[in-house]
Every structure is written in C-alpha cells, then in structure tokens.
Amino acid sequence: MKDIDLTQNIDLDLNKNEQILRKIFENTDDIVFRKLEGGITKKLKMLLFYVDGMTTKEAISEYAIEKLLMNLDLTKIRNTPNAQIHDEIAKSNIAVSEIQILTTIQECIDKVLSGETVLLLENCSKGIMLSSRGWPMRGVQEPSAETLIRGARDGFNETMKVNISLIRRRIRDPKLKVKYSQVGKRSKTDIAVMYIEDLVNNTVLETVEKRISNIEIDAVLESSYIEEMIEDDSYSLFPQIENTERPDAAASALLEGRVVIAIDNTPSVLIAPAIFVSFMQSSEDYYERWMPACATRILRYIALPIVMILPALYVAVTQYHPNLLPTQLALYVAASRANVPFPPYFEALLMELVIELVREASFRITTPVGSTIGLVGGLVIGQSSVEAGLITPLAVIVVALTAIASFTIPSYNFGATLRLIRFGFIILAAIFGLFGISIGLSFLIIHLCTLKSCGVPYMTPFTSFVENKRDLKDTIVRPRISKMVRKPDYLHMEKKERKNV
C-alpha cells in the first residue's frame, strides 16, 4: 500500500481500479466488492464497493443496482464520449437522492469509509458516489447531564447531521450557515461550523475557522479534542469554550451571534466565544418566570465563593484567626478540637478528598446505585469520622455545605475547575491564613481579567461595563423577555436588535 499513490485519478481500466482498491483494503473483510454487468444488452461492466454495516443496502439495491441491471439502455448512450458516460447514467438510471462525481482514488476511499457506496464504470475515468449512509445510531433523548424542569426534552446524539437538523428546526432562517470540514489525518472526522451570517462577529468566526484548519492530529474522537486545540490558553484551569448537548442552548447561542461547532461521533457541540457569565447561566433561566429565575441565578453567584473558599476560610479562621469567631463559637470549636489529632488543614483536605472519591464512584456505576452510594457513603463516612475523633463536626458541616453548593453550578467543566481551585485555596490558607486567601483571590482575579476566549475578554461585561454596560442586565439577574431586545454589545455586531432569546 505504501507504493500506491492515492491522489491518482481513476483509471479507464476497471480491472486496474479494482486491483488498486483491493490492495488498499487488503485483509479488510468488511469491505464489499461487487462486479456487475449492467444494461439491457449486458455490455457495461461496473464495480460497486462499500463498507458492510455502514450502508443502507436495501436502498442501493432497489434504487441503483436494480435500475442499472434491468433498465440501463446502452444504445442511447453508445455515441456518448467515454468521459460523459457517468453523467448520462447518473441522470437517467440512478434514483438515489444524492450523488457525487469522483475523480481520484482518495475521494473514493474517503466516501466509502464515510458510509457511502461508490460505483465505478468500465472505460470511464470518473466514479459515482451513491448516498447510502445507514449506520446504527442512538435515538434523540434528553441529555442526562443537562436535565431541566421546564423545557425541551430532545438532545444531541452522535450523528452530526441529526444534530444540525435539531438546530435548524429551531432557527428557520436562510442566513443560518453551515460550513463542513474534516479534521484528523486518519479519522477524517466531519466538523460543521454554524453561524448566523448577519449576527456573527466576523473576527471571532475567522479565528475559529483558522484554528480548526491549523489542527494537526491523527484522530478526533470527541469534541474535547477540538476544544483543547482552539482555546486561547490551554494551560488555564478555566474552560474557554462552552459545550452543550441541548439543541435549544446551541440555538440560543447562535441567536446571540456566537459560533457553534458540531463534531461527528459526539453528542456535545462547542460554542465560542465563552465568557465567565455564560457558565453561570442555564437554559432554564429563560423558561421560568423572570423573578424566580433571577432568584435562582443570584443563588448561584452566592454559591460561587462558597464552592471556592469556604473550606479555606474554615482552615484560616480555626488555625490562625480564632479571635474572629464569636466567643461561644470559638470555645465550642476549641473544645471539639481537643481530641482531634489532625490540624484543620488536614481535616479539610481529607474530607474534600473523600467527597471527590464518592463523587467519582457515583459517576462510574449505574445511576440508581450511584445516587445511593453517594448518599450512604457521605453519611456513613462523615458520622463515623466524627465518632472516631478524626475530624470535628464543624468540618463535616463545612465540607458538606461546599459539596451541595458545587451542584448549583450549571456547567460541569466550570464546576470541576472551581473544585480544583478550592484545594489551592486550602493550601494557601494552611500556610498564610487569611493573607494567603487574599493572595490567591488577587492572582485569580488577575488571571480571569487577562484571559480571553477567541479574542473576547473572559470577564466581559464586568471588565468593560462602560462600553458594554447594557450587557450587565443579563448577568447576575435575568431581565424580562420583553426587555431583552438587544444582542450582546461585546460581540460588536452591526445589527443588535433581536426578537428571540
């Protein structure tokens, strides 16, 4: 196979083409080759080849093979130049809905490995692709990681074209554009970049397309491969590309003027750019009445510092600054710690590690058993640790409250980042006390203010509230739908008026 030039054109000799293809697919038993003699007079030799299990063989048999065998009249095209035989056959003798003319061996291979069927003709230097994709796929189901009380129950699956159709069902606008490309030298994974032509920020669009075109990798097996290679700072803990399995969330992002990237073989689509506030918002915020939605969103922002620094505050106060506590509480903490052999920072780290172990274990097993393990494991371990004198009851309360607060963060990736940062704050608090927490917060704010997503500042609109002050109304609180009549100013679009969320 190393000696075969895949970029060569299809040869006029059908037998030679067959030998080349059989050599390329040597020891590959799921590639099916079928030689035919089509036409009423049985004079035209043909070769069909496809991947068994990836095609709808019934459709090809009924709408292509049967017509070629029984209805092909060679007398009508006998005076047609050889280079045009494929056109005449494709126009009048194939009833498949989608066909394409191929010129090289490489094109034939790519189409076959994508689930299509290729037809080669004798004395013809062109091949015909017959649309026949029909691999098994999962049905449209609600994504388990993004469940809502009110809202649509459909979700993306692993077939890219199904995902695109779910978005087009919500946005029936001819200005919704879809651009296809392939990434991966071996996997040749299909990728679709989607945007609304008159709303998208062209600078962001060009940045995304350029970064995708510059990707050099053997295979793309999941959307995270693309996410990591197009983000601005891959060393940052914070996600700079948003991902979702919900078609309504992707449609909403498109209507805001953002870019959506759909990848084949994965139910997660990517959304760029992604800013800090987008990870604190949920689709359900816009489906509930605006006042309860505002209260829920405010609750998330209250939970944000709890998730990051509450265990660190416990360590700093109990270890370095007990004078900050009320007298009775300080005496209770001192009494409860009298028989505990470990310092406060070890308590916090130990309990956080246990919580992460329980969380990971609950994810790796079936959902009913996983929830049971999470509940029973947390209760048993916490109660047993207190009775054994390994940790104080206050430490259990702090860690439990932190774990509960972490579940209010809508984005799993963003929540995982906050959990990692929490360990850093605990270490700083153990070394420097409240001063260490202040240092950590300072570096965190500086990092967030310098971080960008596809060229857009990560902390927009908080860092540019003078220019984009109107964007502040949909950050910590959610205004009424009737008041959300403008597109986000931070994308600098020419047309900012909008009719939908």
Nearest-Å Rg of the Cα atoms of the chain is: 30
pLDDT the model gives residue 195: 94
Q: Is residue 483 part of a domain?
A: no
What is the per-residue pLDDT for 501? Answer: 39
Same domain, 326 and 398: yes
195-199, 351-355, 428-432, 480-484: least confident range: 480-484
Does residue 48 sit in the same domain as residue 175? no
- What sign has the CA pseudo-torsion 429, 431, 432, 436? negative
Whether 361 has a pLDDT exceeding 50, the answer reads yes
pLDDT-derived band at 427 (thresholds 50, 70, 90) equals very high
Token pair 């209760």 in the structure block, residue: 379
CA 203 from centre of chain: 22
Is residue 447 domain-shared with residue 326, that is, in the same domain?
yes
pLDDT category of residue 254 using cuts at 50, 70 and 90:
very high
Write out pLDDT tens, residues 92-110: 667 677 888 898 999 999 9
Which residue segment(s) compose the domain that 390 sits in? 288-457
Task: State the pLDDT confidence band at 273, using cuts at 50, 70 and 90.
Answer: very high
Query: How far lies 470's CA from each of 284, 336, 370, 448, 462, in Å?
Result: 22, 51, 44, 21, 11
Q: In terms of domains, do 254 and 172 share one?
A: yes
Could you tell me if 292 and 270 lie in one domain?
A: no
Cα dihedral 395/396/397/403 (nearest 10): 110
* Same-domain status, 310 and 428: yes
- Output the pLDDT for position 145: 78
| C-alpha dist (Å) from residue 188 to 216, 420, 461 | 11, 34, 38
Residue 442 in any domain: the answer is yes
Q: Is residue 424 part of a domain?
A: yes
Q: Is the pLDDT of residue 351 over 70?
A: yes
Q: Is the dihedral of CA 17, 20, 22, 28 positive or negative?
A: negative
Give a yes or no: residue 471 inside a domain: no
**What average pLDDT does the segment 288-294 reach?**
88
User: Which tens digits make up the pLDDT trace of 442-454?
Assistant: 999 999 999 999 9
Q: What is the pLDDT of residue 2?
A: 54
Query: What would the mean pLDDT of 176-198 be, rounded to a whole number?
Result: 92
pLDDT confidence bin for 219, thresholds 50/70/90: very high
How do residues 379-416 score in pLDDT, each as one tens digit? 677 777 787 778 888 888 898 899 889 888 998 899 99
Question: Are 433 and 327 members of one domain?
Answer: yes
Percent residues over pLDDT 90 in the chain: 35
* C-alpha distances in Å from residue 383, one per residue of 177, 278, 386, 390, 396: 57, 38, 5, 10, 9
pLDDT band at 371, cuts 50/70/90?
Answer: low
Same domain, 109 and 155: no
Residue 145, both tokens: 């990681």
Looking at per-residue pLDDT, the higher value among 140 and 442 belongs to: 442
Residue 398 covered by a domain = yes
Looking at the structure of the chain, the number of domains it has is 3
Q: Quick check: bond before 341 cis, omega within 30?
A: no
Residue that is last in its domain, among 79, 106, 130: 130
pLDDT of residue 209: 94
13-31 pLDDT per residue, tens: 889 999 999 999 988 888 9
Amino acid found at 62: E
Greater confidence (205 vs 69) lies with 205
| Distance (Å, whole) CA 256 – CA 153 | 22
Last residue of a domain, one of 130, 160, 181: 130
The reply to whether 170 and 79 lie within a common domain is no
Q: Does residue 101 form part of some domain?
A: yes
User: 40 and 120 share a domain?
Assistant: yes
Assess whether 108 and 203 both reside in one domain. Answer: no
Most confident among 125-129, 270-274, 338-342 (mean pLDDT): 270-274
Asked if residue 374 has pLDDT above 70, the reply is no
Helix 105-113 to helix 14-24 angle, to the nearest 10 degrees? 50
Q: What is the mean pLDDT of residues 104-120?
A: 89
- What pLDDT is stored for residue 347 in this prediction? 87
